[in-house]
Amino acid sequence: MTYEEYKSKKSNKKSNNKLIIRLLNKLFTIVIFTMLVVIISNYSPKFRNFIINDVLNNSMNFSKVNNLIDNLTGIFKNKNETKSVANIITNNSEKYLDGIKYTFEGIEDVYLKDSGIITYIGNKEGYNNTIIVQQSNGYYAWYGNVKESVKLYDYVEAGNKIGTSEKEYYYVLLKDDKPININES
C-alpha cells in the first residue's frame, strides 16, 4: 500500500466517523426532547392538552415532509407516476358535485391514483363512505362510495388497491381546499 492510498483510506474513515457522530448526536437530541415532552406533560395538564390538541390531533402536511425526505433520501420512488383509479371496462362517467361519478356493473376494485397517506376514512355527505388521501404532490383526493381495505394513516403507493365499490364511486381532487376540474373518463 502506498502512502497516498493509506492517507486516502484514513481520510475516508474519519469522514465516516464524523457522519456517524453527527447522526448519533441528532438521535440523542431527539430522544432527550421526547423524554422532556413526556416528563413535562405528566406534570402539566395545560402542556399535555397543548400536545394532544394542537400537535397530535392536527394533521401534518404530508406532502412537505415527503418532499423533504425525498430530496434527502429518494425513498418515495415514482412519486410523479399517475395510475388509473379503477379497472373499469365501461367509460360511464359524469360530473358529480365537485368531481366525477363513475358507474359500472357489479363490484369493482378501486386503486389509488397517486401515492399518498390516508388521512380520513368515514362518511361524507353526498359521497357515502369516503377515503381521503393526502397525495405526495400536495393534492387531496377523495374516493367516495368505497368500502376500504386500507387503514387510517397508511402510506399507499400509486396503483395499489384501496377498496371496492358497488355500481358507482366518486373521485374528487382538491388543491388548497378548492376542487380541481378533472377531465378523466
- Give me the residue spans of the domains in the chain: 3-58, 60-185
Q: Distances in Å between the alpha carbon of 110 and those of 38, 102, 173, 174? A: 41, 11, 15, 19
Beta bridge partners of residue 19, listed in sequence order = none
pLDDT at 144 over 90: yes
Q: What is the pLDDT of residue 61?
A: 59
Q: d(Cα 9, Cα 38) in Å, to the nearest integer?
A: 44
Write out pLDDT tens, residues 85-98: 545 444 577 888 88
Q: How many CA atoms lie within 13 A of 56 on its CB side?
A: 8
Topology of domain 60-185 in CATH is Glucose Permease (Domain IIA) (2.70.70)
Write out pLDDT tens, residues 98-116: 888 888 888 889 998 888 8
Nearest partner of 110 among 140, 135, 80, 141, judged by Cα = 141
Q: What is the pLDDT of residue 63?
A: 58
**Cβ atoms 79, 145 nearer than 8 A:** no
Find the mean pLDDT for residues 150-166.
90
Q: What is the pLDDT of residue 172?
A: 92
Residue 151 or 2, more confident: 151
Confidence class of residue 146 from pLDDT cuts 50, 70 and 90? Answer: very high
Average pLDDT along the chain:
78
